Amino acid sequence: MLIEKSGLSQNTLAGKTVILTGGGGGIGFEAARALVWLGANVIIAEIDTEKGKAAQDAINKEMGCGRAEFYRIDLSDASRIEALVSYAKSKYGFIYAVLNNATIAPLGAVDKIPASEWDKSYAINLRAPLLLAQKLLPDMKAKNCGAIIFVSSSGAAPYMGAYEVFKTAQAELSDTLAGELEDTGIHALTIGPGLVKTDTAKRGIEEIASLMGMTLDDFYKRNEAYMLSPEEAGVGFALAVVRAEKYRGQEVSSIQVLSEANIFAGAAAQRRENEEASARLKELVSKAARTYCEQYDGWMNRNLFERQWVLRDFKKYTGCSAEQFRAKMREIEDAAAASGGLSRYKADFEKLGKYYKRQYELLQGFERDRQKLEENSQIIKGWIKDTEDICGLL
Over residues 258-313, the pLDDT tens digits come to 988 888 655 555 555 566 777 788 888 888 888 888 888 998 888 888 888 888 88
Same domain, 234 and 210: yes
Model pTM score: 0.65
Return the closest-CA partner of residue 189 out of 249, 255, 100, 131. Answer: 249
Same domain, 226 and 293: no
Same domain, 159 and 87: yes
Is pLDDT of 224 > 80? no
pLDDT at 319: 85
Say which range, 197-201, 334-338, 369-373, has the weakest mean pLDDT. 197-201
Buried b (16+ CB within 10 A) or exposed e, 273-284: eeeeeeeebbeb
Domain boundary among 231, 262, 293: 262
Q: How many CB atoms lie within 10 A of CB 22?
A: 30
Same domain, 43 and 175: yes
Is pLDDT of 220 > 70? no
What CA–CA distance (Å, rounded) separates 206 from 373?
Answer: 56
Same domain, 62 and 195: yes
pLDDT digits (tens, 9 = 90+) for 324-355: 888 888 888 777 766 556 777 888 888 888 88
Same domain, 296 and 206: no
Same domain, 227 and 317: no
Tell me the torsion sign for CA atoms 367, 373, 379, 380.
positive
Same domain, 360 and 233: no
Terminal CA-to-CA distance of the chain, rounded, Å? Answer: 19
Main-chain phi, psi angles of 112, to 5 degrees: -105, -20
Q: How many domains does the chain have?
A: 2
pLDDT at 340: 56
Same domain, 125 and 255: yes
CA-angle at 312, arms to 325 and 330, nearest 5°: 10
What CA–CA distance (Å, rounded) separates 100 from 123?
Answer: 13
What CA–CA distance (Å, rounded) separates 141 from 66?
Answer: 29
Same domain, 244 and 308: no
pLDDT digits (tens, 9 = 90+) for 78-115: 999 999 999 999 999 999 999 999 999 888 889 999 99
Main-chain phi, psi angles of 195, to 5 degrees: -90, 115
Kindly indicate the confidence band of residue 154, based on its pLDDT and cuts at 50, 70 and 90.
low
Same domain, 166 and 209: yes
Give the range of the structural domain holding residue 359, as residue numbers without chain letter: 277-393
Arithmetic mean of pLDDT over the chain:
87
pLDDT at 128: 97
